[in-house]
């Protein structure tokens, strides 16, 4: 029983082997170009004030309010009260202990 198989030509094999394994990916962080963020919520008042909210997974919610006068406010979440505070000054202090005699 003879098998009826067809072999690929050298040109066909080379064309298959030259294909990339995965499509090209562009990294915007290296080029310095930031992708335009799209707001998850947007509202425009009649007086020209606009409110935009941005939510990204794992990041704090950003709210940007722009007034018709050109004033821009960026609202952020309050600091966590349980997290330790880092002092801005480099001062070494020794705790005092009061011991009544």
Q: Do the domain assignments include residue 26?
A: no
Q: Is residue 4 predicted with pLDDT exceeding 60?
A: no
Say how far apart CA 88 and CA 20 lie, in whole Å: 52
Q: Do the domain assignments include residue 46?
A: yes
* pLDDT, tens only, 13-61: 888 888 888 877 777 666 666 667 889 999 999 988 899 998 887 778 8
Higher pLDDT, 39 or 101: 39
Q: Give the pLDDT score at 41.
A: 92
Domain that holds residue 58: 37-77
- Which helix (DSSP H) or strand (DSSP E) does residue 13 occupy? helix 10-17
The pTM is what?
0.43
Q: Do the domain assignments include residue 41?
A: yes
Of 34, 89, 79, which Cα lies nearest the Cα of 56? 34
Q: Is residue 86 predicted with pLDDT exceeding 80?
A: no
Please tell me the total count of domains within the chain. Answer: 1
Q: Give the pLDDT score at 3.
A: 57
Cβ–Cβ under 8 Å, residues 47 and 68: yes
């Amino acid at each position: 029983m003879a098998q009826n198989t067809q072999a690929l030509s050298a040109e066909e094999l080379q064309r298959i082997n030259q294909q990339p394994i995965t499509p090209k990916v562009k990294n915007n962080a290296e080029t310095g170009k930031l992708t335009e963020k799209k707001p998850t919520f947007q509202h425009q008042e009649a007086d020209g004030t606009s409110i935009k909210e941005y939510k990204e997974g794992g990041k704090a919610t950003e709210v940007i309010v722009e007034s018709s006068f050109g004033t821009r406010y960026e609202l952020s979440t309050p600091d966590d009260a349980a997290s330790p505070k880092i002092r801005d000054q480099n001062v070494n202090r020794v705790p005092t202990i009061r011991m009544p005699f």
